[in-house]
């Protein structure tokens, strides 16, 4: 019953109220506790659980479901009024149908050239096919055909692939929430697929250790004082807290020594998405003169930040900024392939942060703030390995953006971008780094314009 003590998301609370009032659940035994609150969770083998099992059996008969199959889960699915439910932890709404790729399958999809880890657990297979076709074109269909063993007679189209996979490949797909009747009133786990892993407490400790030295900052070429940020994360973990990036580094924001304390479950559920409140905090920090976003992602951030007025718009901007960062890393991969490694190190990496340690005093676990930050210089030899690791991981991440023929993997559909990017490469080859950087800026401005168009198209 410990799970019942969680702070349930407002979206889930609203959902509970709608469910108990819906005619599909009329007659459900003991919906309310003595204090008037909803009795959502009960033990299936207890008295109330047994009464609810009888209720589900009557509902099975009413819906004409054969008891020889997994009748209670099928009854819960068929009885559900919308086929979608929000997660108890993060509030994200997901489908109850088998439409989300299993972890291993999703990993294979994310490894497809031009996809490069774009999709997370919130994407249904239909959304993956729709967006993947835009990002990866013919190569995406070719690789997806292998993953799902789609026969040649199925043509390379979004609709054809969606239809075939949802009808024939359910063994590679999972539902947004697992059945859990009669323990849960609506018949489904309170948490969705998005937050399922956070209920495995054995994973928590390893996650904490990983975040003390967060390689994602290197992989995403995040600017900011990453050494100070890592040490501050350590302070959070000492107090059993998870440090939430208000501006996720996976969207192009800086890895800076400012986080908000959050539970591990909530932070994991938040993933790489911003809320309206996050955007407002970032704007306030910028107004104070703080640098919140990496140079390479500032163009798209500046183009979109003033347009965010709702949580939905903040979520959309998050998606567009994540796509933009994939474009950025594709561009860096192109530069690297043209003997531009030293240029990239000089202009976009900051190994100098390795040469000191950082200590914080007066850390406040309630706010995530601190009184003082002290930098302690060290022997360069002492931190040499740290520098090498930082640079190695950063360039390893670019390897995912090059195909077998050592050609850059781009995912934009803008010939002007290719034209200006070619000028940047030509400038680099001619030894003119300033002109190269200017052309890179112009390339990123064009991509930002495309992001604005996509934002506006989804507001109609």
Please choose, from the candidates 428, 412, 214, the residue with its C-alpha nearest in 3D space to the C-alpha of residue 326. 412
Q: What is the pLDDT of residue 295?
A: 94
Q: What is the pLDDT of residue 255?
A: 93
Q: Strand 173-175 vs strand 242-244: parallel, antiparallel, or unpaired?
A: unpaired
Give the phi and the psi of residue 41 in degrees, each rounded to 5.
Answer: -110, 135
Beta strands in 176-245 (DSSP E): 242-244
Burial of 362 (0-12, 13-18, 19+ CB in 10 A): exposed
The neighbour count for residue 430, using CB atoms within 10 Å, is 10
Condensed to tens digits (0 to 9), the pLDDT of residues 411-442 reads 687 889 999 999 999 999 999 999 999 999 99
**b/e map of 317-352 (b: 16 or more CB within 10 Å)?**
bbbbbbbbbbbbbbbbbbbbbbebbebbeeebbbbe
Please report, for residues 40, 184, 268, 447, the alpha-carbon distance to residue 197 in angstroms, rounded to integers and kept in the order given: 22, 19, 9, 35
* DSSP codes of every residue in 262-290: E-HHHHHHHTT---HHHHHHHHHHHHTT-
Please report, for residues 18, 143, 416, the alpha-carbon distance to residue 160 in angstroms, rounded to integers and kept in the order given: 36, 15, 32
Angle, CA 25 vertex, CA 22 and CA 30 arms, to 5° = 115
d(CA 64, CA 56): 12
Angle, CA 320 vertex, CA 134 and CA 337 arms, to 5° = 70
Tokens standing for residue 385? 């390995």
Query: Residue 143: how many CA atoms within 13 Å on its side-chain side?
Result: 21
Q: Where are the domains of the chain?
A: 2-96+176-198, 98-174, 215-457
Please report, for residues 118, 132, 234, 270, the alpha-carbon distance to residue 248 in angstroms, rounded to integers and kept in the order given: 14, 23, 18, 10
The neighbour count for residue 280, using CB atoms within 10 Å, is 15
DSSP annotation of 193 reads: G
Which helix (H) or strand (E) segment is 203 a member of? helix 201-212
Name 420's Cβ contacts closer than 8 Å, sequence gap at least 6. Answer: 439, 442, 443, 446
The label of the residue with tokens 């088998």 reads: 98
Identify the segments of the chain with pLDDT beneath 50.
1-5, 199-212, 403-410
Q: Are 195 and 268 contacting, i.e. CB atoms less than 8 angstroms apart?
A: yes
Q: Are 217 and 226 contacting, i.e. CB atoms less than 8 angstroms apart?
A: yes
Tokens standing for residue 134? 């835009």
Condensed to tens digits (0 to 9), the pLDDT of residues 42-73 reads 998 899 999 999 999 999 999 999 988 789 99
């Amino acid at each position: 019953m410990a799970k019942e003590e969680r702070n349930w998301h407002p979206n889930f609370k609203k959902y509970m109220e709608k469910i108990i009032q819906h005619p599909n659940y009329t007659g459900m035994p003991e919906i309310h506790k003595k204090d008037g609150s909803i009795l959502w969770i009960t033990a299936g083998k207890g008295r109330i659980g047994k009464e609810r099992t009888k209720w589900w059996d009557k509902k099975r008969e009413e819906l004409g479901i054969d008891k020889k199959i997994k009748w209670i889960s099928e009854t819960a699915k068929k009885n559900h009024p919308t086929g979608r439910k929000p997660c108890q932890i993060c509030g994200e709404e997901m489908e109850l149908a088998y439409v989300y790729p299993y972890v291993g399958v999703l990993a294979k999809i994310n490894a497809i050239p031009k996809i490069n880890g774009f999709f997370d657990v919130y994407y249904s297979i239909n959304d993956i096919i729709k967006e993947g076709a835009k990002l990866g074109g013919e190569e995406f269909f070719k690789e997806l055909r292998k993953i799902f063993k789609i026969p040649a007679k199925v043509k390379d189209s979004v609709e054809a692939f969606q239809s075939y996979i949802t009808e024939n490949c359910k063994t590679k797909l999972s539902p947004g929430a697992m059945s859990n009747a009669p323990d849960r009133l609506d018949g489904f786990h309170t948490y969705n697929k998005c937050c399922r892993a956070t209920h495995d407490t054995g994973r928590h400790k390893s996650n904490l250790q990983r975040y003390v030295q967060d390689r994602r900052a290197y992989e995403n070429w995040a600017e900011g004082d990453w050494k100070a940020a890592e040490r501050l994360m350590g302070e959070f973990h000492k107090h059993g807290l998870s440090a939430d990036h208000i501006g996720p580094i996976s969207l192009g924001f800086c890895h800076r020594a400012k986080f908000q304390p959050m539970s591990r479950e909530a932070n994991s559920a938040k993933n790489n998405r911003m809320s309206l409140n996050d955007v407002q905090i970032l704007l306030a920090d910028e107004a104070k003169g703080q640098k919140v976003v990496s140079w390479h992602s500032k163009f798209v951030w500046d183009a979109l930040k003033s347009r965010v007025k709702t949580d939905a718009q903040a979520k959309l901007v998050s998606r567009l900024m994540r796509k933009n960062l994939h474009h950025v890393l594709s561009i860096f991969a192109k530069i690297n392939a043209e003997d531009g490694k030293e240029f990239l190190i000089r202009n976009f990496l900051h190994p100098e942060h390795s040469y000191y340690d950082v200590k914080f005093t007066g850390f406040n676990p309630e706010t995530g703030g601190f009184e003082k930050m002290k930098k302690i210089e060290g022997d360069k030899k002492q931190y040499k390995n740290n520098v090498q690791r930082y640079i190695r991981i950063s360039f390893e991440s670019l390897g995912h953006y090059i195909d077998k023929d050592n050609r850059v993997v781009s995912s934009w559909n803008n010939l002007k971008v290719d034209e200006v990017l070619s000028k940047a490469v030509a400038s680099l080859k001619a030894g003119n780094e300033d002109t190269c950087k200017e052309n890179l800026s112009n390339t990123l401005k064009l991509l930002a314009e495309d992001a604005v168009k996509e934002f506006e198209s989804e507001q109609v």
